[in-house]
């Protein structure tokens, strides 16, 4: 029986439409070749350019599409010279995260043989870990509402039991699924600063309580400063890491750095009911309209979407297609003949996406 999934597509600003189009085409062709699932793509207008045109950055109609869709595919939103009247940036992706309670920011970090990385990789080593950044509270709790007087500035860090329990359950389930898929030993590391802050001792206590429910997964702890060091010295040792919002914000850019830049860094923001899949990079207005943007991070985000939908709805063929799509990108990157400028090549967005499609045997 074929299961049909609706995908809300936020093509966004800057390079957004340029990388969304080939990604949706590749996903559409994968689905058309499958008897197990089909995809319906619904455009959801939003973003800075939309705000400039209409005065709305995330219209209710687009929010409705996002809420009812089975998954949300989003490129990047925001433009430097389009701002709200109070001067703040237009970032509907953050509004979506809050409105849909997408607490788990999932940032996979992979470096395969042949991939550019600033690290010296010992022979035979590859990097394959996932950083989970809590994305609704932590030090971002008072974002935009911090108290600033002449002599003092304050922001509040919030850790709640409710969100932490959901976050840690998600982390342990992910480690289990990765182990089953042969992608890790089944280990979750809680990254915190429990030696200094009571809030992080609380965070760790909730982690330990969840760990006790998963005897088949190894659980350990690491301080955030040591984690930054180890991510450079021995990143191949990590499997799943879970941390607070601000720590995760910083460590995920370090992770993107290990991968040789943002061009290969996908992400997902996942809640209990909804999930957004989007590249880690922004709308890159400096190269928009040139047809030179790297589509790989967006395509890899699409692969994560197939994984998530497949697992959630028990459509194994979607997980297989997700893995095939990732492997196709890995092969194109390792081969090195068709790479965009940011990865040291000269291919256009279309040529790079076509190379992935060819690897998949499409067209």
Which residues are near ligand ATP by CB under 6 A? Answer: 15, 78, 262-263, 281-284, 286-287, 293-294, 297, 340, 342
CB of 191 to ligand ATP, least distance (A): 22
- Rounded CA-CA distance 278/304 in Å is 9
CB nearer ligand ATP, residue 222 or residue 287: 287
Residue 131 token pair: 């950083």
CB of 76 to ligand ATP, least distance (A): 6
The C-alpha atoms of residue 322 and residue 183 are separated, in whole angstroms, by 14
Using alpha carbons only, what angle is made at residue 60 by residues 75 and 301, rounded to the nearest 5 degrees? 20
Number of C-alpha atoms within 13 angstroms, CB side, residue 280? 26
Nearer to ligand ATP, 22 or 78 (CB): 78
Q: Which is nearer to ligand ATP, 123 or 286 (CB)?
A: 286
Contact call for residues 115 and 260 (beta carbons, < 8 A): yes
209: how many CB neighbours lie within 10 A of its CB? 13
Nearer to ligand ATP, 194 or 328 (CB): 328
The nearest distance, CB 294 to ligand ATP, in angstroms, is 3
Beta bridge partners of 175: none
The C-alpha atoms of residue 102 and residue 53 are separated, in whole angstroms, by 28
Residue 346 and residue 290 in contact, taking contact as beta carbons nearer than 8 Å: no
The encoded tokens of residue 243 equal 């941390």
Least Å distance, CB 356 to ligand ATP, is: 14
State the nearest-atom distance from the C-beta of 109 to ligand ATP, in Å.
17
Tell me whether residue 81 or residue 151 sits nearer to ligand ATP (CB atom): 81
Q: Which residues contact 9 (CB under 8 A, 6 or more apart)?
A: 20, 24, 41, 42, 43, 44, 73, 74
Q: Give CA–CA dist 333/342, Å, rounded.
A: 12
Minimum Å gap between C-beta 293 and ligand ATP is 4
Residue nearest to ligand ATP (CB): 282
Identify the DSSP state of 235.
G
Nearer to ligand ATP, 71 or 298 (CB): 298
Shortest separation between residue 143's beta carbon and ligand ATP, angstroms: 14
Query: Which residues have CB under 8 Å from 330's CB, separation 6+?
Result: 112, 115
- Smaller CB separation from ligand ATP, 12 or 186: 12
């Amino acid at each position: 029986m074929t299961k049909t999934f609706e995908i809300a597509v936020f093509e966004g600003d800057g390079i957004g439409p340029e990388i969304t189009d080939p990604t949706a085409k590749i996903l559409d062709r994968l689905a058309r070749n499958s008897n197990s699932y089909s995809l319906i793509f619904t455009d959801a207008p939003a973003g800075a350019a939309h705000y400039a045109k209409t005065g709305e950055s995330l219209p209710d109609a687009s929010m409705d599409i996002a809420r009812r869709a089975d998954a949300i595919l989003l490129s990047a939103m925001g433009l430097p010279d389009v701002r709200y009247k109070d001067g703040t940036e237009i970032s509907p992706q953050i509004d979506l995260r809050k409105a849909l309670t997408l607490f788990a920011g999932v940032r996979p970090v992979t470096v395969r043989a042949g991939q550019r990385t600033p690290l010296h990789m010992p022979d035979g080593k590859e990097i394959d870990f996932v950083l989970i950044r809590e994305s609704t509270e932590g030090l971002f709790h008072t974002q935009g509402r911090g108290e600033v007087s002449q002599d003092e500035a304050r922001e509040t860090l919030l850790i709640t039991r409710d969100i932490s329990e959901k976050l840690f359950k998600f982390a342990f389930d992910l480690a289990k699924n990765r182990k089953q898929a042969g992608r890790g030993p089944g280990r979750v590391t809680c990254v915190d600063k429990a030696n200094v802050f009571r809030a992080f001792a609380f965070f760790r206590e909730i982690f330990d309580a969840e760990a006790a429910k998963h005897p088949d997964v190894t659980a350990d702890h690491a301080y955030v400063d040591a984690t930054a060091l180890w991510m450079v010295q021995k990143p191949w040792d990590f499997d799943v890491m879970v941390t607070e919002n601000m720590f995760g914000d910083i460590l995920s850019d370090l992770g993107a750095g290990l991968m040789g830049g943002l061009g290969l860094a996908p992400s997902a923001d996942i809640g209990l009911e909804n999930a957004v899949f989007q590249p880690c990079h922004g709308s890159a207005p400096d190269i928009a309209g040139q047809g030179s943007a790297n589509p790989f991070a967006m395509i890899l985000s699409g692969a994560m979407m197939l994984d998530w939908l497949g697992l959630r709805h028990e459509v194994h063929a979607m997980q297989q297609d997700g893995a095939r799509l990732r492997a196709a990108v890995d092969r194109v990157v390792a081969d090195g003949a068709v790479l965009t400028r940011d990865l040291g090549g000269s291919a256009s967005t279309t040529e790079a996406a076509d190379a992935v499609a060819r690897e998949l045997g499409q067209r």
